[in-house]
Protein backbone atom coordinates (compact mmCIF):
# COMPACT_ATOMS: atom_id res chain seq x y z
CA UNK A 1 0.00 0.00 0.00
CA UNK A 2 1.49 3.35 -1.04
CA UNK A 3 1.27 6.95 0.12
CA UNK A 4 -1.70 7.81 -2.10
CA UNK A 5 -4.45 9.73 -0.32
CA UNK A 6 -7.85 8.09 -0.17
CA UNK A 7 -9.95 9.59 -3.04
CA UNK A 8 -12.96 9.96 -0.75
CA UNK A 9 -10.91 12.12 1.59
CA UNK A 10 -9.66 14.27 -1.28
CA UNK A 11 -13.16 14.79 -2.64
CA UNK A 12 -14.55 15.67 0.77
CA UNK A 13 -11.72 18.13 1.43
CA UNK A 14 -11.76 19.96 -1.91
CA UNK A 15 -14.32 22.52 -0.80
CA UNK A 16 -12.69 23.17 2.53
CA UNK A 17 -10.53 26.21 3.34
CA UNK A 18 -6.85 26.01 2.52
CA UNK A 19 -4.50 25.78 5.52
CA UNK A 20 -3.61 29.14 7.03
CA UNK A 21 -0.15 29.38 8.55
CA UNK A 22 1.21 32.62 9.96
CA UNK A 23 4.91 33.42 10.09
CA UNK A 24 6.81 33.09 13.37
CA UNK A 25 10.50 33.56 12.84
CA UNK A 26 9.72 31.86 9.53
CA UNK A 27 8.68 28.51 11.01
CA UNK A 28 4.92 27.84 10.78
CA UNK A 29 2.67 29.11 13.57
CA UNK A 30 -0.40 26.92 14.03
CA UNK A 31 -3.46 27.74 16.13
CA UNK A 32 -4.83 24.66 17.92
CA UNK A 33 -8.01 26.40 19.11
CA UNK A 34 -10.24 24.26 16.80
CA UNK A 35 -9.53 21.40 19.22
CA UNK A 36 -11.31 23.39 21.91
CA UNK A 37 -14.55 23.07 19.91
CA UNK A 38 -14.19 19.79 18.02
CA UNK A 39 -12.83 16.35 18.87
CA UNK A 40 -9.99 14.89 16.85
CA UNK A 41 -11.64 12.68 14.20
CA UNK A 42 -10.77 8.99 14.23
CA UNK A 43 -10.86 8.45 10.46
CA UNK A 44 -9.17 10.80 7.96
CA UNK A 45 -11.65 9.84 5.22
CA UNK A 46 -14.71 10.87 7.24
CA UNK A 47 -16.52 13.46 5.05
CA UNK A 48 -18.11 15.06 8.13
CA UNK A 49 -14.83 16.40 9.49
CA UNK A 50 -15.36 20.11 10.28
CA UNK A 51 -13.58 22.59 8.04
CA UNK A 52 -11.55 23.92 10.98
CA UNK A 53 -10.19 20.48 11.79
CA UNK A 54 -9.56 19.62 8.14
CA UNK A 55 -7.53 22.81 7.78
CA UNK A 56 -5.66 22.10 11.01
CA UNK A 57 -4.68 18.61 9.82
CA UNK A 58 -3.50 20.06 6.50
CA UNK A 59 -1.47 22.75 8.31
CA UNK A 60 0.22 20.17 10.53
CA UNK A 61 1.06 18.03 7.51
CA UNK A 62 2.48 20.96 5.55
CA UNK A 63 4.63 22.06 8.50
CA UNK A 64 6.01 18.55 9.03
CA UNK A 65 6.72 18.18 5.32
CA UNK A 66 8.28 21.59 4.64
CA UNK A 67 10.02 22.34 7.93
CA UNK A 68 9.92 19.47 10.43
CA UNK A 69 9.21 22.27 12.93
CA UNK A 70 6.23 24.40 13.88
CA UNK A 71 4.98 26.54 16.73
CA UNK A 72 1.58 26.10 18.39
CA UNK A 73 -0.66 28.47 20.33
CA UNK A 74 -3.96 27.87 22.11
CA UNK A 75 -2.61 24.45 22.99
CA UNK A 76 -4.54 23.83 26.20
CA UNK A 77 -1.59 23.67 28.62
CA UNK A 78 -2.17 25.99 31.59
CA UNK A 79 0.49 28.72 31.56
CA UNK A 80 0.62 28.60 35.37
CA UNK A 81 2.04 25.06 35.21
CA UNK A 82 4.95 26.22 33.06
CA UNK A 83 5.53 29.27 35.25
CA UNK A 84 5.83 27.02 38.32
CA UNK A 85 8.44 24.87 36.58
CA UNK A 86 10.36 27.95 35.49
CA UNK A 87 10.31 29.26 39.07
CA UNK A 88 11.69 26.05 40.63
CA UNK A 89 14.25 25.78 37.81
CA UNK A 90 15.60 29.23 38.65
CA UNK A 91 15.87 28.24 42.30
CA UNK A 92 17.61 24.96 41.54
CA UNK A 93 20.19 26.30 39.10
CA UNK A 94 20.98 29.19 41.45
CA UNK A 95 22.18 26.70 44.08
CA UNK A 96 25.92 26.21 44.68
CA UNK A 97 27.52 23.67 42.33
CA UNK A 98 28.20 21.19 45.14
CA UNK A 99 24.52 21.23 46.09
CA UNK A 100 23.35 20.60 42.50
CA UNK A 101 25.84 17.77 42.12
CA UNK A 102 24.21 15.88 44.97
CA UNK A 103 21.79 14.70 42.29
CA UNK A 104 24.26 14.39 39.42
CA UNK A 105 23.92 11.61 36.85
CA UNK A 106 26.47 8.84 36.63
CA UNK A 107 27.48 5.95 34.40
CA UNK A 108 24.62 3.72 35.60
CA UNK A 109 21.84 6.23 36.17
CA UNK A 110 21.54 8.74 33.34
CA UNK A 111 19.11 11.03 35.16
CA UNK A 112 19.68 14.08 37.31
CA UNK A 113 22.00 17.05 37.03
CA UNK A 114 24.98 17.55 34.77
CA UNK A 115 26.90 20.44 33.28
CA UNK A 116 29.17 20.91 30.29
CA UNK A 117 32.14 19.19 31.86
CA UNK A 118 30.15 15.94 31.72
CA UNK A 119 29.15 16.23 28.07
CA UNK A 120 30.90 14.79 25.03
CA UNK A 121 30.76 18.09 23.15
CA UNK A 122 32.96 20.51 25.10
CA UNK A 123 31.66 23.42 23.01
CA UNK A 124 28.21 23.08 24.56
CA UNK A 125 27.56 25.82 27.14
CA UNK A 126 24.80 24.69 29.48
CA UNK A 127 23.74 22.83 32.59
CA UNK A 128 20.85 20.39 32.63
CA UNK A 129 18.39 18.59 34.88
CA UNK A 130 16.88 15.40 33.38
CA UNK A 131 14.08 13.12 34.49
CA UNK A 132 11.70 10.57 32.97
CA UNK A 133 7.96 10.10 33.11
CA UNK A 134 8.36 6.38 33.88
CA UNK A 135 11.44 4.99 35.58
CA UNK A 136 13.23 2.02 34.04
CA UNK A 137 15.95 -0.51 34.78
CA UNK A 138 17.43 -3.08 32.40
CA UNK A 139 17.18 -6.77 33.30
CA UNK A 140 20.90 -6.99 34.13
CA UNK A 141 20.96 -3.71 36.08
CA UNK A 142 23.59 -2.16 33.83
CA UNK A 143 21.29 0.64 32.64
CA UNK A 144 18.97 2.55 34.93
CA UNK A 145 16.66 5.52 34.59
CA UNK A 146 15.73 6.55 38.11
CA UNK A 147 14.65 10.10 38.91
CA UNK A 148 16.75 12.01 41.40
CA UNK A 149 14.87 14.80 43.13
CA UNK A 150 16.85 17.53 44.92
CA UNK A 151 15.99 18.57 48.47
CA UNK A 152 15.82 22.16 47.29
CA UNK A 153 13.60 23.59 46.04
CA UNK A 154 11.08 21.33 47.83
CA UNK A 155 8.31 22.12 45.31
CA UNK A 156 10.33 20.91 42.31
CA UNK A 157 8.90 17.40 42.07
CA UNK A 158 5.24 18.40 42.29
CA UNK A 159 5.68 21.26 39.82
CA UNK A 160 7.46 19.08 37.25
CA UNK A 161 5.09 16.12 37.54
CA UNK A 162 1.95 18.24 37.12
CA UNK A 163 3.44 20.04 34.15
CA UNK A 164 4.57 16.81 32.47
CA UNK A 165 1.10 15.26 32.79
CA UNK A 166 -0.43 18.21 30.92
CA UNK A 167 2.25 18.37 28.19
CA UNK A 168 2.00 14.63 27.61
CA UNK A 169 -1.70 15.08 26.77
CA UNK A 170 -0.74 17.74 24.23
CA UNK A 171 1.87 15.41 22.71
CA UNK A 172 -0.76 12.70 22.18
CA UNK A 173 -3.01 15.21 20.39
CA UNK A 174 -0.16 16.28 18.12
CA UNK A 175 0.77 12.69 17.27
CA UNK A 176 -2.87 12.00 16.38
CA UNK A 177 -2.97 15.03 14.10
CA UNK A 178 0.28 13.93 12.47
CA UNK A 179 -1.16 10.44 11.92
CA UNK A 180 -4.24 11.96 10.27
CA UNK A 181 -2.03 14.12 8.05
CA UNK A 182 -0.42 10.87 6.82
CA UNK A 183 -3.92 9.57 6.02
CA UNK A 184 -3.75 7.11 8.92
CA UNK A 185 -6.32 6.58 11.69
CA UNK A 186 -5.80 9.15 14.45
CA UNK A 187 -4.79 6.59 17.07
CA UNK A 188 -2.57 4.54 14.75
CA UNK A 189 0.59 5.51 16.67
CA UNK A 190 -0.82 5.76 20.20
CA UNK A 191 -0.13 2.16 21.16
CA UNK A 192 3.61 2.65 20.79
CA UNK A 193 3.55 5.12 23.68
CA UNK A 194 2.02 2.88 26.35
CA UNK A 195 4.65 2.71 29.13
CA UNK A 196 6.52 5.29 27.09
CA UNK A 197 10.14 6.35 27.56
CA UNK A 198 9.34 10.06 27.59
CA UNK A 199 12.12 12.35 28.81
CA UNK A 200 11.82 15.76 30.45
CA UNK A 201 14.68 18.23 30.55
CA UNK A 202 15.37 21.68 31.94
CA UNK A 203 18.24 23.47 30.18
CA UNK A 204 19.96 26.44 31.78
CA UNK A 205 22.33 28.60 29.72
CA UNK A 206 24.40 31.13 31.64
CA UNK A 207 25.42 34.36 29.89
CA UNK A 208 28.52 33.72 27.80
CA UNK A 209 31.26 36.33 27.27
CA UNK A 210 32.47 34.64 24.05
CA UNK A 211 29.38 33.43 22.18
CA UNK A 212 31.42 33.00 19.01
CA UNK A 213 33.38 30.16 20.63
CA UNK A 214 30.56 28.02 22.00
CA UNK A 215 26.96 26.98 21.43
CA UNK A 216 24.28 26.32 24.01
CA UNK A 217 23.71 23.04 22.19
CA UNK A 218 25.49 22.04 19.00
CA UNK A 219 23.68 21.11 15.80
CA UNK A 220 21.74 17.88 16.17
CA UNK A 221 18.52 16.03 15.42
CA UNK A 222 16.20 14.57 18.05
CA UNK A 223 16.18 10.78 18.14
CA UNK A 224 12.70 10.31 19.62
CA UNK A 225 9.28 10.72 18.04
CA UNK A 226 8.26 14.30 18.88
CA UNK A 227 9.65 17.17 20.96
CA UNK A 228 7.48 19.76 22.72
CA UNK A 229 9.68 22.71 23.67
CA UNK A 230 8.98 25.72 25.86
CA UNK A 231 11.57 28.48 25.46
CA UNK A 232 11.67 31.67 27.50
CA UNK A 233 11.59 35.24 26.23
CA UNK A 234 15.37 35.32 25.65
CA UNK A 235 15.20 32.83 22.79
CA UNK A 236 18.12 31.27 21.00
CA UNK A 237 16.78 28.28 19.08
CA UNK A 238 18.01 28.03 15.49
CA UNK A 239 16.45 25.69 12.92
CA UNK A 240 18.12 24.63 9.68
CA UNK A 241 15.71 25.53 6.89
CA UNK A 242 15.13 22.61 4.52
CA UNK A 243 14.66 24.77 1.45
CA UNK A 244 18.14 26.31 1.43
CA UNK A 245 20.10 25.02 4.46
CA UNK A 246 20.14 28.43 6.16
CA UNK A 247 19.85 28.73 9.95
CA UNK A 248 16.66 30.49 11.07
CA UNK A 249 16.25 31.96 14.55
CA UNK A 250 12.88 31.07 16.11
CA UNK A 251 11.57 34.14 17.87
CA UNK A 252 9.83 33.54 21.21
CA UNK A 253 6.05 33.86 21.26
CA UNK A 254 4.43 34.09 24.72
CA UNK A 255 2.58 30.95 25.82
CA UNK A 256 3.52 28.92 22.76
CA UNK A 257 5.31 25.63 22.18
CA UNK A 258 7.82 24.74 19.52
CA UNK A 259 7.20 21.27 18.07
CA UNK A 260 9.62 19.24 16.03
CA UNK A 261 9.48 15.86 14.36
CA UNK A 262 12.08 13.39 15.60
CA UNK A 263 13.92 10.52 13.94
CA UNK A 264 11.24 7.96 14.84
CA UNK A 265 8.51 9.80 12.94
CA UNK A 266 10.95 10.18 10.05
CA UNK A 267 11.33 6.39 9.97
CA UNK A 268 7.62 5.67 10.54
CA UNK A 269 6.73 8.01 7.67
CA UNK A 270 9.45 6.47 5.47
CA UNK A 271 11.17 9.86 5.05
CA UNK A 272 8.03 11.83 4.19
CA UNK A 273 8.44 13.87 7.40
CA UNK A 274 12.10 14.60 8.09
CA UNK A 275 13.79 15.19 11.43
CA UNK A 276 15.60 18.51 11.00
CA UNK A 277 18.85 19.83 12.45
CA UNK A 278 18.65 22.53 15.10
CA UNK A 279 20.91 24.16 17.67
CA UNK A 280 20.78 26.60 20.60
CA UNK A 281 22.83 29.79 20.64
CA UNK A 282 23.94 31.54 23.83
CA UNK A 283 23.39 35.11 24.98
CA UNK A 284 26.13 37.51 26.08
CA UNK A 285 24.02 39.26 28.73
CA UNK A 286 21.05 37.15 29.82
CA UNK A 287 20.65 33.66 31.20
CA UNK A 288 18.27 31.48 29.24
CA UNK A 289 16.00 28.55 30.09
CA UNK A 290 14.45 26.03 27.73
CA UNK A 291 12.24 23.11 28.74
CA UNK A 292 11.84 20.29 26.21
CA UNK A 293 9.58 17.25 26.59
CA UNK A 294 10.76 14.34 24.45
CA UNK A 295 7.81 12.14 23.47
CA UNK A 296 9.15 8.66 22.73
CA UNK A 297 7.74 5.12 22.58
CA UNK A 298 8.27 2.31 25.04
CA UNK A 299 11.79 0.87 25.00
CA UNK A 300 10.60 -2.48 23.63
CA UNK A 301 9.35 -0.82 20.43
CA UNK A 302 10.90 -1.98 17.17
CA UNK A 303 10.94 1.01 14.84
CA UNK A 304 10.43 0.62 11.10
CA UNK A 305 8.44 2.31 8.30
CA UNK A 306 4.71 1.82 8.79
CA UNK A 307 3.37 -0.88 6.50
CA UNK A 308 0.49 1.33 5.33
CA UNK A 309 2.96 3.87 3.98
CA UNK A 310 5.24 1.58 1.99
CA UNK A 311 4.91 -0.57 -1.11
CA UNK A 312 7.47 -2.79 -2.83
CA UNK A 313 7.15 -1.01 -6.15
CA UNK A 314 6.25 2.65 -5.57
CA UNK A 315 7.59 3.41 -2.10
CA UNK A 316 9.80 0.65 -0.66
CA UNK A 317 10.82 0.74 3.00
CA UNK A 318 13.93 2.90 3.36
CA UNK A 319 14.99 1.70 6.81
CA UNK A 320 15.84 -1.56 8.48
CA UNK A 321 14.00 -2.28 11.70
CA UNK A 322 15.77 -1.26 14.93
CA UNK A 323 14.97 -1.50 18.63
CA UNK A 324 14.35 1.85 20.30
CA UNK A 325 15.62 0.79 23.75
CA UNK A 326 18.95 -0.44 22.38
CA UNK A 327 19.29 2.64 20.19
CA UNK A 328 18.56 5.02 23.07
CA UNK A 329 20.85 3.34 25.61
CA UNK A 330 23.70 3.13 23.09
CA UNK A 331 23.53 6.85 22.35
CA UNK A 332 23.25 7.77 26.02
CA UNK A 333 26.21 5.58 27.00
CA UNK A 334 28.32 7.06 24.21
CA UNK A 335 27.52 10.60 25.34
CA UNK A 336 28.38 9.92 28.96
CA UNK A 337 31.60 7.98 28.37
CA UNK A 338 32.81 10.38 25.65
CA UNK A 339 33.61 7.47 23.37
CA UNK A 340 35.78 8.09 20.31
CA UNK A 341 33.08 6.93 17.93
CA UNK A 342 29.96 8.44 16.49
CA UNK A 343 26.60 7.90 18.13
CA UNK A 344 24.18 5.54 16.47
CA UNK A 345 22.14 7.46 13.92
CA UNK A 346 19.09 6.43 11.94
CA UNK A 347 21.27 6.75 8.85
CA UNK A 348 22.99 3.57 10.04
CA UNK A 349 19.70 1.75 9.42
CA UNK A 350 19.10 3.29 5.99
CA UNK A 351 18.65 0.75 3.22
CA UNK A 352 20.47 1.02 -0.07
CA UNK A 353 17.67 1.36 -2.64
pLDDT in tens, 136-168: 887 777 678 999 999 999 999 999 999 999 999
Write down the pLDDT at residue 236. Answer: 84
Residue 26 to residues 225, 241, 243, 267, Cα–Cα distance (Å): 23, 9, 12, 26
Strand pairing of 278-280 and 226-231? unpaired
The CATH architecture assigned to 7-349 reads Sandwich (2.60)
**Cα-Cα-Cα-Cα dihedral of 93, 95, 101, 105, to 10°?**
-20
Q: What is the pLDDT along the chain (353 residues), one digit of tens a residue?
A: 333 334 443 344 443 444 445 545 579 999 999 999 999 999 999 999 999 999 999 999 999 999 999 999 999 999 999 999 999 999 999 999 999 999 999 888 889 999 875 444 445 678 999 999 999 887 777 678 999 999 999 999 999 999 999 999 999 999 999 999 999 999 999 999 998 999 999 999 888 766 555 555 678 899 999 999 999 998 889 999 998 899 998 989 999 999 999 999 999 999 999 999 998 877 778 888 999 999 999 999 999 999 999 998 899 999 999 999 989 888 776 555 544 445 668 888 998 77
Alpha helices in 114-271 (DSSP H): 156-181, 263-268
Checking phi first, is residue 70 left (phi over 0); if not, alpha (psi -120 to 50) or beta? beta
Strand pairing of 247-249 and 127-132? unpaired
DSSP H or E stretch at residue 259: strand 257-261
Count, residues in the chain: 353
Q: What are phi and psi of 260, to 5 degrees?
A: -135, 145
Write down the pLDDT at residue 216. Answer: 54
Alpha helices in 14-50 (DSSP H): none
pTM value is 0.88
For the chain, domain boundaries: 7-349
DSSP state of 273: S
Taking the alpha carbons of 30, 36, 42, 45 in that order, is the dihedral positive or negative?
negative
Amino acid sequence: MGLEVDPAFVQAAEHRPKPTISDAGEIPLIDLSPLLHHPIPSDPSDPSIPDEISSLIAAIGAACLDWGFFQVVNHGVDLKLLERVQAVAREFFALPAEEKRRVKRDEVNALGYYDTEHTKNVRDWKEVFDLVVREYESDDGSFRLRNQWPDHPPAMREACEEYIASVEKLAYKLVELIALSLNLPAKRLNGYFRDSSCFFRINHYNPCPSPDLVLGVGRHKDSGALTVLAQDEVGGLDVKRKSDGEWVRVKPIPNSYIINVGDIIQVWSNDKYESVEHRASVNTEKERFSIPFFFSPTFSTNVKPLEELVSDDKNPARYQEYNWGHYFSSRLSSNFKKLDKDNLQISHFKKAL
